[in-house]
Structure 1
Amino acid sequence: MNALSKLTSALVIAGAAAVSATSALAAPETYTVDSTHTFERFSYSHFGMSTQLSRFNKTTGTVVVDKAAKTAKVDIVIDTTSVDTGYDTFNGHIQGADFLDTAKFPTATFKSTKVRFDGDKPVAIDGDLTIKGVTKPVTLTVTNFVNMPHPMLKKDAIGADAHVVIKRSDFGAGKYAPNVGDDVTISVSLEAIKS
């Protein structure tokens, strides 16, 4: 093998190794939602007198992140029967047919269609929100994102805060609007652990 052939072979091998290394770096990583530290809170105006705050206590799902490619996918399931207003009577009221109708629709879901990054951090998540069997496109604004080893679990983890404002009437849950506010702010606090 002459010098040119050896050089060509070396370049081909080096190129293949570089492609292989890049592929390994760009592999998507799956994070499983930590249900003990992930909550969706929602707030709305009550007769203009106060802002009512409630949350859902049970959330599952996954977040898939490709750090090199700066892409991600979010798939969340909220157990709407876990609504927590702080008052049992209201919990039952919100689960009724006029609002979440949890007897027919025990879950709400969010599935991302695009995650937008600024540098290494996601700043907005476009996706489809389904509540009470109605699906609408929404965009969550990400206000905080952290990727670090979990101090206790010793595994790679992510954390994020995000929010979006929806109209509950768009999802067939508009009873008493506008006296009870139609605009509902959903705030998401999420932690997920690498699977």
Structure 2
Amino acid sequence: MKKLILALSLSSLAAAAAAAPETYAIDVSHTAPRFEYSHLGYSMQMHRFDKTSGQIVMDRAAKTGSVDVTIDARSVNTGFALFNEHIQGDDYFATAKYPTITFKSTVVRFDGDRPAAIDGDLTIKGVTKPVTLTVTSFQAMPHPMLKKDAIGANAVTKIKRSDFNMGKNAPYVSDEVTLSIAVEAVRQ
């Protein structure tokens, strides 16, 4: 009987150890938040932010996790310095007062052992709204160069600029914006 109790205890400890949360630091050189919108109906414009930081915590066995991302709104990159400056003004990102955009998850939903959707709070220009990021791809494997476990994902959501006090020029410049993020993170 003692052997059975010991075996059950050891298997419980092994299961608990296997289901431990893992923390990943966002790889700033391989993470690219982007936003896309219709410009006067002529074309879909896509721009990005060049500086992003944060961490992802995942326990795939327990199907839990958290995501905490900070985007430097001053790193907006449209490809044109003058336009970068323009959309950092008060009518849009107001980066002098609100230099960062944040996303903090409330729930990570899984499909099997892969995250499928991340509910959370998006804060832009001091306004916080709930959003759901749909995970369109996910990969977890050892990083071939860093020799550490790593994860990567692409996720997307749609928001309205006017919900974040950024609705100038709507509807000519679309109020609806598609936000997408390609993220890679390395286990700490």
1:171 maps to what in 2? 164
SS, match of residue 163 in structure 1? strand
1:158 maps to what in 2? 151
- Structure with the greater alpha carbon radius of gyration: 1
2:176 maps to what in 1? 183
- Cα distance, 1:12 vs structure 2: 1.6
Matches within 5 A, 1:32-51: 32-51=25-44
Cα distance in 1, alignment partners of residues 49 and 65 from structure 2 = 24
Partner AA of 1:26 in structure 2: A
SS, match of residue 36 in structure 1? helix
CA contact (8 A) 2:60 2:114 kept: no
Q: Is 1:98 matched with 2:91?
A: yes
Report the TM-score when normalising by structure 1. 0.95
Q: Is 1:25 matched with 2:29?
A: no
Cα distance in 2, alignment partners of residues 120 and 157 from structure 1 = 15
Q: Is 1:141 matched with 2:134?
A: yes
Q: Unpaired segments of 5 or more residues in structure 2?
A: none
- Cα distance, 1:94 vs structure 2: 0.7
Q: Is 1:124 matched with 2:112?
A: no
Cα distance in 1, alignment partners of residues 43 and 59 from structure 2 = 42
Partner AA of 1:44 in structure 2: Y
SS, match of residue 53 in structure 1? strand
Q: Is 1:88 matched with 2:81?
A: yes
SS, match of residue 13 in structure 2? helix
Which portions of structure 1, spanning 4 or more consecutive aligned residues, are displaced by more than 2 angstroms?
none
Percent identity of paired positions between Structure 1 and Structure 2? 62
Q: Unpaired segments of 5 or more residues in structure 1?
A: 1-7
Partner AA of 2:32 in structure 1: F
- Cα distance, 1:19 vs structure 2: 1.3
SS, match of residue 9 in structure 2? helix
Cα distance in 2, alignment partners of residues 133 and 98 from structure 1 = 13
Q: Is 1:10 matched with 2:8?
A: no
CA deviation map 1:138-180 (0-9, x unaligned): 0011110000110110100000001101001000111011111
Q: How many residues align?
A: 188
- Cα distance, 1:10 vs structure 2: 1.2
